[in-house]
Structure 1
Amino acid sequence: MSKSRNPPVGRLARLGRVAALSARGSAGLAMRALRKVAGADAAETDRSTISHVVQALGEMKGAAMKLGQALSMDVDALPAELRNIAARLQSSAPPLDAEEIVAIVEDELGAPPEKLFAEFDTEPLAAASLGQVHAARLHDGREVVLKVQYPGIAEAVDADFANIALMVRAAGLTSKLLDGTAYVEELRREIHLETDYVLEAERARAFRELFSAEADLLVPEPIPERSTSRVLCLTRVRGQTLTQFIESNPDAAARWRVSEQLIRAVHGPFYSAARIHADPNPGNFLVTADGKLALLDYGCVKSFREDFVATIRDCLIAELNGQPYDVLAGVRATGFVVDTDEATARGLLADIMAIASRPLRANVYDYALDTTVSDMRALGLRRTKDFLRVRPPAEAVMLGRAVSGCAQNLRALGARGEVRAVYLKMLQRRRPEG
């Protein structure tokens, strides 16, 4: 990993980087077309362009880098080779210099790392969108990791979203039908909360309690005496990331075991406690040597209203049991805005349910053949006007991020198993308390 200076913070500086990327991307497309006409290898141009974009987004970090991470997870967005290049954004962004990391730790914790820890590795284990992670050992012998936030990253996140809002207004997307201000603000607010490591520690403790009865799901333990709002210390979990696990070519039984664990880890807390881990980056999941799944990084955890969860639960229970359910009444109850006639709304919702509920309609479902994300995207393009007239509440943005990301990870795992049975068991658990 190459070294990186602090990410640019100001709106104009970050907007300039995005403009430069846009220009580079346009030039890359033009060059690809010319090379194709000339009979040359256009793939080399693609590799060069993607590599440049990955490097630039990695240096920018913040919300811009998160967009790149999402692209790297989309199986249909890029060929496998180019997606592998983009996957570097999941945990291998250009890190800060070791001297700067040491200075941040000392400033936050009041002493240099060599006094606070028995061991501290200045070479990061991972460098992500908001901070980088270093291995360490406490004086009592416990292995830990130290998550150190990039300087100015909270301001950088706000600058990214201010630029997005500016572009939305400049594009004229402010009419009642096209206005996405509430969704952009929801994303901004939730990603900004990721910069509060005290809150993240509280969320990790809450998930440890939620998973306490599930021995095969792990959550690292926060170490409060070595943590602040910008530095977070947690017990270390060793294992393979989802990507590394997939690349190890596991057998069908292992793929299904991890897929079943992934479904429970992501969807289970939503139905049992009205909250969801909303950062589906494959680097946030570790498969341990003894077959457990560890869920990492609790910066992005979304809590929901009880009636929002209850309506979705009732809909899924009806689907699983083959019972009738008034989906239109349900989405209205959760806060959807329905600005079209009833027949159109019901038709759109029927199309959405036909795609989203596929894994629930078969006793055995094959994720290697799953196309729910791409089919939902195609439906959105085909019925754009109807989607604009049946609009979910802003809080659904983070649920969508979690669910679609989980589906992408399950497709990458390519597992085949009894998905329906997993959901039936999850939905039998207690309703969230108000």
Structure 2
Amino acid sequence: MASDSDDSLPPSGRFTRFRKLAGLSMQVGTDVLKSGAKRLTGSSSEMLSKGAAEKLVSTLGELKGAAMKLGQVLSMDPDLVTPEVRQVLARLQNQAPSMSYERVARVVREELGAPPEEVFREFSRQPLAAASLGQVHGAVLQDGGGAAVKVQYPGIAESLSHDMENLGLVVKTVSKASRLMDGSAYFQEFKDELLLELDYRREAALAEEFARAVAPLEDLCVPAIRAPWSTGRVLTMELLPGLPLKDWVTTQPSNAERFRVARQLIRATYGPFFGAERIHADPHPGNFMVMPDGRLGVLDFGSIKRFSPRFVEANRRMLLQALRREPMDVLGLSLEAGFTVELPGAEADALIREVFHIAGRPMRQSPYDYATCEIPRDMRNHFSRNAARFLKVKPPPEAVMFFRATGGLAQNLRLIGAHGDFRGVYLEMAERFG
């Protein structure tokens, strides 16, 4: 864990944060250019050096907030970096520089009326995890129950607001330059959802809703919320035993174990989506716990997204028809889901159909090997080749969080690298919730 110093609190000034990001962009950009030249000469296969990755972790970990969330996304894509560099970036998932214990105690005292030593029977001075908006400490309640206490970084609300102002200016400038590149609605959706994560009372309510949504899936576990010790900036919940997914994969689990956990991740994503119109939209590997009793623990509920019934129903029909290998009106279903299309029908249909063809491989092929999965690469290439046309196929704003969740699921399944009957797993989901 990083040094215990108040200097690690996120800088909140808008210009300071912008300046740090700009400097980071220049340093990493130079590194990428050098790496690109080496790749062209065949002297290196790295896109990002370990030194540049360390700089990314240092700066984004210091900034926390939206900047750190971006780093978490980068850390999940194996196509961008080597395994060694990815291991460095993975520290952003729950090992950011931590704030001092004195600062933690001050927040607890302000929120719960007394310092941690009085509120809890035991309270660890060292955090279990330090993430983008707060850090988690292990504790024991007065009744003897184990707890995880998430304490929000002081000043993070202001820091996050400034990040959104800086990013919003970029989006606004691009949108004014071209109607086709108007991303203001998507940015607003992302901004609204991210700022809502600051309210831990809301997160407590979402955790309880999500627990009810996954209750039929007995191999999943959502920690119980300890309401008397939870406020707007302190969230106390049951402490789950086990290893975070990102650490569990390094223990050399068998294929049978990897398939079990991969199946659980699919269930954790699509079960609540089809069963309760909700999805966990922050799926980095630090948010899933492989428990000793065989269950998969799901953590961090600030990004639980609720969808419109029409969006869920259109996606349900897409899944069922794909699994049944039935003829699919992909354009019609996309329009039902809320997409707007500014291309001729046949052209749009072919464009979207290829997306479904690439993404649907595990639903058509059995067995399927996620260790050699090329879906993210092929999807990226498809979008790159057809970038101008995709600008004329616009998903509804609510799809932003859906794509974040399902894209993260695909990356986690690649990380696990299991081989097996995934078509059967999706069929199980369709039969249960179809």
TM-score (norm 2): 0.95
- The residue aligned with 1:396 is 399
Asked if 1:206 corresponds to 2:209, the answer is yes
Q: 1:151: how far off?
A: 1.2
- The residue aligned with 1:119 is 122
Which deviations, in whole Å up to 9, do the C-alpha atoms of 1:40-94 show, x marking residues without a partner?
A: 9997992222101210000000000000000000010111111111111001000
Distance 1:15 1:256 in 2: 43
Q: Tell me if the contact between 2:175 and 2:182 (Cα under 8 Å) persists in the aligned partners.
A: no
- The residue aligned with 1:382 is 385
From 16, 20, 26, the equivalent of 2:19 is 16
Tell me, which stretches of 5 or more residues in structure 2 are unaligned? none
Distance 1:263 1:430 in 2: 13
- The residue aligned with 1:95 is 98
Distance 1:171 1:240, change over 3 A: same
- The residue aligned with 2:311 is 308
**SS class of match (1:409):** helix
From 326, 329, 332, the equivalent of 1:323 is 326
Q: 1:117: how far off?
A: 0.4
Distance 2:273 2:298 in 1: 15
TM-score (norm 1): 0.95
Q: Tell me if the contact between 2:39 and 2:46 (Cα under 8 Å) persists in the aligned partners.
A: no
Q: 1:364: how far off?
A: 1.8
Distance 1:110 1:85, change over 3 A: same
Distance 2:42 2:268 in 1: 48
Q: Tell me if the contact between 1:174 and 1:180 (Cα under 8 Å) persists in the aligned partners.
A: no
Structure 2: which amino acid aligns with 1:2? S
Q: Tell me if the contact between 2:129 and 2:135 (Cα under 8 Å) persists in the aligned partners.
A: yes
Structure 2: which amino acid aligns with 1:387? F
Q: 1:427: how far off?
A: 2.0
Q: 1:133: how far off?
A: 0.2
- Mapping of 1:331-410 within 5 angstroms? 331-410=334-413
Q: 1:350: how far off?
A: 1.2
From 51, 54, 60, the equivalent of 1:51 is 54
Segments of 4+ moved more than 6 angstroms: 33-45
**SS class of match (2:125):** coil
- Mapping of 1:100-111 within 5 angstroms? 100-111=103-114
**SS class of match (1:121):** strand
Q: Return 24-33 or 147-156, whichever deviates more.
A: 24-33
- The residue aligned with 2:230 is 227
From 133, 138, 150, the equivalent of 1:135 is 138
Q: 1:397: how far off?
A: 0.5
**SS class of match (1:124):** strand
Q: Return 2-11 or 266-275, whichever deviates more.
A: 2-11
- The residue aligned with 2:241 is 238
Q: 1:392: how far off?
A: 0.3
Q: 1:137: how far off?
A: 0.1
Which deviations, in whole Å up to 9, do the C-alpha atoms of 1:225-256 show, x marking residues without a partner?
A: 00001100001001111111110000010000
Distance 2:47 2:366 in 1: 44
**Cα RMSD after superposing both structures:** 2.1
Asked if 1:167 corresponds to 2:170, the answer is yes
Distance 1:180 1:420 in 2: 35
Q: 1:316: how far off?
A: 1.2
Q: Return 172-181 or 147-156, whichever deviates more.
A: 172-181
Distance 1:218 1:37, change over 3 A: closer
**SS class of match (1:429):** helix
**SS class of match (1:297):** coil
Asked if 1:415 corresponds to 2:425, the answer is no
Asked if 1:64 corresponds to 2:67, the answer is yes
Q: Tell me if the contact between 1:344 and 1:386 (Cα under 8 Å) persists in the aligned partners.
A: no
Distance 1:317 1:42 in 2: 41
Calculate percent identity across the aligned residue pairs: 44
Equivalenced residue count is 431
Q: 1:2: how far off?
A: 2.3
Q: Tell me if the contact between 1:271 and 1:429 (Cα under 8 Å) persists in the aligned partners.
A: no
Distance 2:55 2:304 in 1: 31
Distance 1:356 1:173, change over 3 A: farther
- The residue aligned with 1:292 is 295
Which deviations, in whole Å up to 9, do the C-alpha atoms of 1:330-386 show, x marking residues without a partner?
A: 111121110011111011011111111111002321111111112111111001111
Which deviations, in whole Å up to 9, do the C-alpha atoms of 1:16-38 show, x marking residues without a partner?
A: 11111012223434665899999
